[in-house]
Each structure stands twice: as C-alpha cells, then as structure tokens.
Amino acid sequence: MTRSTGVALVGAGYWGRRIARNLVAADGCELRAVCDVDPARAREVAEVHGGVPMASLTAALSDATIDAVVVATPSSTHAALVNEAIGSSRHVLVEKPLAGTPGDAARLAARAADRGRVLMCDQTYRFAPAVVAIRELLADRAFGPVELIESRRTNQGHDQPDVDVFWDLAYHDLAIVDAVVPAGLHGLVGVRATARDLVGHGRPHRGELVLDPAPGPTVRITVDWHADAKARAMRFAGVEHEVTWDDAHGPDVRHDGIAVPVGGTEPLTAVVAEFLAAIADGRPAVCGPAQELPILAVLAAASESAARDGAPVTVDLAAGVDPVAVV
C-alpha cells in the first residue's frame, strides 16, 4: 500500500482551520503537525483535526514522516516559510500570494524545481464551480472573442495589514481572468492603476486597475476594503454575448441573462486534492509558479502605476521565470 502523504499545517487561523478540515477529509493524506505562533490556537486545531501541535515549522521539519507543508499565515511571512520548507525538500502549498515580489517568487520557484518539489499556490477561485462553468462558456466558439471583463470586489471594513488592496482583492480577479480566458495572462500587458484613501485609513483602501493586453480583452477591476456593501461581481462581454457572475448572491452565473446551473465540490477541497495528486503523480500542480508569476507581475505593475498617479506601466509576461521586467 502507498503511504499517506504526511502534512504539516503552518497557520491555525481562519483559513488554516478550513484547510485543516479539508486535509483530514482528503484520501491519502495525514495531518501530522499544526504550527502557529499562538500555541493555544495550534493545540485547538490539532485536537479537533489530529496532528501534533508544534511551535514552529523548524520543529515540524525534524519529523521525517512529514512530506509536505501547507502555509496559511500572513502574506509577509510566506516567502521565508516557503523557502524553509523547500530547503528541507518538502512539497509546499501556500496561501496567496507566493511572495511579496515577483522576483522573490521566481527564486522560490527555481529552488523548488531544482529539488523536484511541488510548489502550488492556493488560487481558490480557479477551482470554484462557477469559474469552471464560465471557462466552458467563454471557450464555446459561439460566444466569440471576449472583448471586455469588468469586476467589482469590495469588503465592508475588512482589510489586511501587510499587503495593499490590489494584492489582497484584485489578486482573485486576475487569477479568475487567467483561468477563464483561453489565452490566460500572457504577452505584453499595459497596466494602469489608481488608489485612494478616502476614510483616513493611512494607506490606500480603494483602487481601480485597468489591463490592456496585446492581444486580449480589456480588464477593468475595482477593489475597495471600505465599501458600503460587500460585492463579488464580474462581467465577461463579447460582441454579441455576455456572461455575468454575482458571487455575493449565489453563485449566480448568467449567460445572456439566462441562469446557468452551477454545482460541484467546495473549491478548497479541490485545491487540496490537486496538491496531493501532483505530489503522487510527480508533476507540476495547477496553480503552480507558471500561473502565479504573471499575476504577481501585474500586481507589482499596478502598485508601481498607482504610485505614479496612474501612469501606464507595461509588463512582459513572457519574460521567462521573472516576468516583473517593466518596459
């Protein structure tokens, strides 16, 4: 019999608890360690879901039965934790983003490849049943080329302490665009972004991001941490047809106004299953560095453009392992 994949979970907060639930429910997986800077929180998750509470990833990596590490910690800690796990020849699944800069992410990707380890990013929306349905609708020849994508993604007073609003919210929209548009994020992309702090937050909480790929659809994204209402709405328009998705009230997917049935499993369940399958099959995972690096390059360009009051920045997403090169 094939031995189960032993996993250490780093981060026992809100998202880490959801991951723990999916890890223990997955076939061929055993949660062996739960690490958190708060020992009580690690102990609580370990007692509910199994595993041994540990103070640090370093302690967990001393266990030879641990094959993989799942990182669900604040964004600013990702690069160091992923680097430590890869350095000990463990496979890694990390909550978004992989790292704080495209360059750091590219270096982590290269190190994982050198060691033959799976490195996967938790692009949860890519596995959402609604996204799968939208991808199939847009791939139909009858729909025609997608010319415009519009998205509004807002929160009501919920923000993040260590990334800006683009890296927190627009990340999801970019991952969805990469998943549903047949060509994905590729080639030369013009990026224009503006960001504002209208509530005295101390840093921008609202932003507008426009992408002009060559070729490809224009993408317009609005994000806001401090909106009047939570919104998760996208529109994909061609010359004669459109698909809309309201994820805040549904999921509600409509093709030319007609409701589209959406079913399937919990996205995070599919994320964990893909990670384990990639390890078992010895192959790159969906949502690996090849999918992550273009997103981070666009986000870096958005931050650069916003800092320059919306001045356009062009990114070459075909620039190899580090597509952050700005021309």
Taking the C-alpha atoms of residue 6 and residue 4, their distance in angstroms, rounded to an integer, is 6
DSSP track, 234-256: EEEE-SS-EEEEESSSS-EEEET
The reply to whether 321 falls in a domain is no
pLDDT computed for residue 325 by the predictor: 47
Contact 156, 106 (CB under 8 A): no
Model confidence at 233, pLDDT cuts 50, 70, 90, reads very high
The reply to whether 197 falls in a domain is yes
Q: Report residue 252: phi and psi, to 5°.
A: -115, 100
**Residues forming beta bridges with residue 94, ordered by sequence position:** 71, 121
Same-domain status, 66 and 20: yes
Radius of gyration of the chain (CA): 20
The reply to whether 23 falls in a domain is yes
CATH number at residue 21: 3.40.50.720
pLDDT computed for residue 275 by the predictor: 98
pLDDT computed for residue 199 by the predictor: 74
Same-domain status, 27 and 120: yes
For 84-100, the pLDDT digits (tens) are 999 999 999 999 999 99
> Beta 313-316 vs 188-196: how paired, if at all?
antiparallel
Residue span of the structural domain in which 246 resides: 126-264+295-316
Same-domain status, 165 and 241: yes
For residue 125, which amino acid is it?
Y
How many other C-beta atoms can be found within 10 angstroms of the C-beta atom of residue 105? Answer: 30
What is the pLDDT averaged over residues 199-217? Answer: 86
For 102-153, the pLDDT digits (tens) are 999 999 999 999 999 999 999 999 999 999 999 999 999 999 999 999 999 9
**Could you give the number of structural domains in the chain?**
2
Same-domain status, 106 and 179: no
The reply to whether 164 falls in a domain is yes
Same-domain status, 92 and 136: no
The reply to whether 26 falls in a domain is yes
Taking the C-alpha atoms of residue 199 and residue 262, their distance in angstroms, rounded to an integer, is 37
CATH number at residue 234: 3.30.360.10
Same-domain status, 194 and 239: yes
Same-domain status, 205 and 114: no
pLDDT computed for residue 322 by the predictor: 53
Same-domain status, 167 and 302: yes
The reply to whether 201 falls in a domain is yes
What is the pLDDT averaged over residues 59-81? Answer: 95
Same-domain status, 34 and 106: yes
The reply to whether 323 falls in a domain is no
Same-domain status, 46 and 144: no
What is the pLDDT averaged over residues 3-21? Answer: 95
In our burial notation (b when 16+ CB lie closer than 10 A, e otherwise), range 1-27 reads: eeebbbbbbbbbeeebbebbbbbbebe
Same-domain status, 106 and 156: no
Same-domain status, 81 and 152: no
Residues in Cβ contact with 81 at an 8 Å cutoff, skipping those fewer than 6 apart = 10, 57, 69, 71, 73, 94
